[in-house]
Structure formats: C-alpha cells, structure tokens
Amino acid sequence: MRILQTKLPEVLLIEPTAFGDDRGFFLETWNGQRYTEAGLDVDFVQDNVSFSQKGVLRGLHFQHPQAQGKLVQVLAGDVFDVAVDIRIGSKTFGQWIGEKLSVENHRQLYIPPGFAHGFCVLSETALFSYKCTDYYHPQTEGGVLWNDPEVGIDWPVDHPQLSAKDKKYTCLSDIPADRLPRIGEV
C-alpha cells in the first residue's frame, strides 16, 4: 500500500496493493492496523454505497457540525472524485483536488472532516463506496454549488445530472461563516 500526499496535505490518495491474475484480483480495502501504521488513524462508524449512471454528479456535500471524514473508492466503473477545503482559516481554503478513481486503478481517497466532497460518473455506471468517521446528520448537512466559479473545479462533464438538492446549493463565498468549519475544530 502506498499513501500519497495531494496538493491539499490532509487529503490522501491511497493505492492499496492488489493481487491479480487471469481470474481477477484480490484487494484489501481496509485494515485498521495497517492504515494506522501508515498514518491514517481514524475510526469509521458508517459505510455507504451509491450506484449512479454516467454523467451523474453528486456533491459537493459536507456536514457541520458533526463533520464526516470519508475514505472513498469505486467498486465498479470509474469516477472523477473531488475534495474542497471549506475550513475557515485554512491556508488552502477554497482549493480543490480531483482524482480519477476506478475499479482498475483500485485507488482510494481519504477526505478528512472539514472538506466538501463530490464526484461525477465517467463510466456507464459506477458503484461507489464511502467509509465515514461520523454518522449522517441531515440537520447539519450542507453543500457548495458544483460549478462555483470561485472554486473553479475542472469537471470532466459540462451538463451533469444533479439532484434537486444539489442544484440549490450556493457558492462557497455565500455560505454563512457559522455554517462552515474552522481550522482546528474538526
């Protein structure tokens, strides 16, 4: 397993070791002891799976308070996965990182609490897995508009399929400060 830093130091790109042959592959997706030894010492309390069609964009979602850290990966298909730093006081506030995650590259992305998260589906369909560090709290959920021009995410889709909720999110600069986490509190 390799853990790689991204341009957002707290967001980690993880490349688990896959063992493959002509029958397929075997991959360990989580081992608490191994990940702790590699520097990712987190407790996960909830697992989620989503299934989406090509062109679907989910996000950019966050919770505050009760922020969730997420370890995400693709179980089938491929996606473009994005994390945005929304922590007030962070030197990387408003910056984003995007990575292609696929069943072929086996990559995982760890998005810590205090970041908004979203992805768009590049393949015909995608099965996406999330391990979360806190439970879903609908009363604290929020979001950033997927195409916020100030954040400037270079999505590989021009006209994504969005949920009604995701269409209503605002730009990061329009979210009241008390709805956003602060550096050091998450």
Structure token digits, residue 59:
């996000």
Question: Which helix (H) or strand (E) is 72 found in, with range?
Answer: strand 70-76
Catalytic residue among 61, 110, 136, 137: 61
Kindly report, residue by residue over 83-119, the tens digit of the pLDDT. 999 999 999 999 999 999 999 999 999 999 999 999 9
pTM of the entire predicted model: 0.96
Catalytic residue among 35, 110, 130, 137: 130
What lies within 8 Å, CB to CB, of 38 at 6+ separation is 1, 3
Q: Provide φ and ψ at 165, rounded to 5°.
A: -65, -45
Q: Where are the domains of the chain?
A: 2-16+44-173
Indicate if 61 belongs to the active site: yes
Region 124-130 average pLDDT: 98
- Evaluate if residue 124 carries a pLDDT over 90: yes
Structure token digits, residue 157:
């889709």
What is the residue type of 134? D
Banded model confidence at residue 38, pLDDT cuts 50, 70, 90? confident
Q: Over pLDDT 90: what percentage of the chain?
A: 94
Q: What is the pLDDT of residue 22?
A: 94
Kindly report, residue by residue over 156-175, the tens digit of the pLDDT. 999 999 999 999 999 999 99
- Evaluate if residue 186 carries a pLDDT over 80: no
Question: Was domain 2-16+44-173 assigned CATH 3.40.1390.10?
Answer: no
Indicate if 169 belongs to the active site: no
